[in-house]
Amino acid sequence: MADDRFDASLRDPRTMYPAPPFPRQPQDKPGFTEEMEPRPDHGEESYVGNGRLKGRKALITGGDSGIGRAVAIAYAREGAEVAINYLDAEEEDAASLARLIEDEGGTIHRLPGDLKDKAFCRALIEQAREAMGGLDILVANAGKQVRQPGIEEISDEQFDETVQTNIYALFWLTKAALKVMPAGSAIITVTSNQGFSPAPYLLDYATTKFAIRGFTEALAQGAIEQGVRVNGIAPGPFWTPLQPSGGQTQDKVEEFGKGTPMGRPGQPAELAPAFVYLASPESSYVCGEIIGITGGKPIS
């Protein structure tokens, strides 16, 4: 019997989801899903699993909302046991995600903490491994982005926090994960179109996304020696709590995604299938690659 959540009919991708203008909606960091208008789609009503990750054990950073939330929903519906990391302030979104997954019979472990702390990053890998009885998928998704007019307005504190969240945490997490991941495991990083075409108002963020590209390509060549595949995804503009909570100015929130060929931002649900693909055996010969998902804007 067909699952009525999934619509396989032809649909124009330009009009599948809301397009700007959007209302102004300032939020304090880190931002919350329920306060966004329109509410992001994480696949709650549309993603249908087919057992592609049955028995797998996945840790997703930034898993409470946005891209990470969509990945957690998809992985759980594909049969994986899931652990998510998030900040204590994001407990509301994490709790609502846990209710969704648990009500569907899935298993999710909530592991809050600050990835800027080296000791916590190392402990997080062990916590996830112990909770799930193993670890064979790591999605390093959590990131910090604050839009500023230019370099003059980027404080040392902001620069440090962006680099610590986006780069140092990635280094600490993958270093610890590789010690416990068996052959056949997958590590998935999240870079950005900003890692290919940087904008001056996201200078620190773009710098880290360039670094993630290089890190991914270099790590992949070493990790495959123990049978672990490393790949990355480069999203374009996606409608997540990161944007109204400082990732963009409110002027830019109103027009967010307008500059893409599709004329709209992506929804987290539109990214999840790529994360499933890179984690599953279907991508067994894919290693050291970056998949761009940008609404039609080329990356190179």
The answer to whether residue 9 scores a pLDDT higher than 90 is: no
**Sign of the C-alpha dihedral, residues 167, 169, 173, 175?**
positive
219: exposed, middle or buried (Cβ count in 10 Å: 0-12, 13-18, 19+): buried
Burial (Cβ within 10 Å: 0-12, 13-18, ≥19) of residue 282: exposed
| Counts of helices then strands in the chain (DSSP H, E) | 8, 7
Burial of 96 from C-beta contacts in 10 A (0-12 / 13-18 / 19+): middle
Query: Across residues 116-144, what is the average pLDDT?
Result: 98
Q: Confirm whether pTM is higher than 0.85.
A: yes
Residue 123 has pLDDT above 70, yes or no: yes
> Residue 286 carries which side chain, given as an amino acid letter?
V
Token pair, residue 109, equals: 């472990």
| Residues with Cβ within 8 Å of residue 48, at least 6 apart in sequence | 3, 5, 6, 77
The pLDDT score that the predictor gives to residue 6 is 62
Name the residues annotated as catalytic: 205
Band (pLDDT 50/70/90 cuts) for residue 224 is: very high
Given a cut of 70, is residue 243 above it in pLDDT? yes
**Single-letter code of the amino acid located at 223:** A
pLDDT at 66 over 50: yes
Confidence of residue 4 (pLDDT cuts 50, 70, 90): low
pLDDT tens figures, 155-204: 999 999 999 999 999 999 999 999 999 999 999 999 999 999 999 999 99
Domains and CATH numbers, the chain: 48-293 (3.40.50.720)
Report the chain's mean pLDDT, rounded to a whole number.
Answer: 95
The yes-or-no verdict on residue 283 having pLDDT over 70 is: yes
Q: Kind of pairing, strands 290-293 and 229-235? A: parallel
Greater confidence (245 vs 235) lies with: 235
Give strand ranges (E) for the chain.
57-61, 81-85, 108-110, 137-140, 186-190, 229-235, 290-293
- Give the residues across from 83 on adjacent strands: 59, 109
Q: How far apart are CA 259 and CA 257, in angstroms?
A: 5
| pLDDT score, position 2 | 42
Q: pLDDT-derived band of residue 300, with 50, 70 and 90 as boundaries? A: confident
For residue 278, pLDDT beyond 70? yes
- For 74-110, the pLDDT digits (tens) are 999 999 999 999 999 999 999 999 999 999 999 999 9
Q: At residue 264, does pLDDT exceed 90?
A: yes
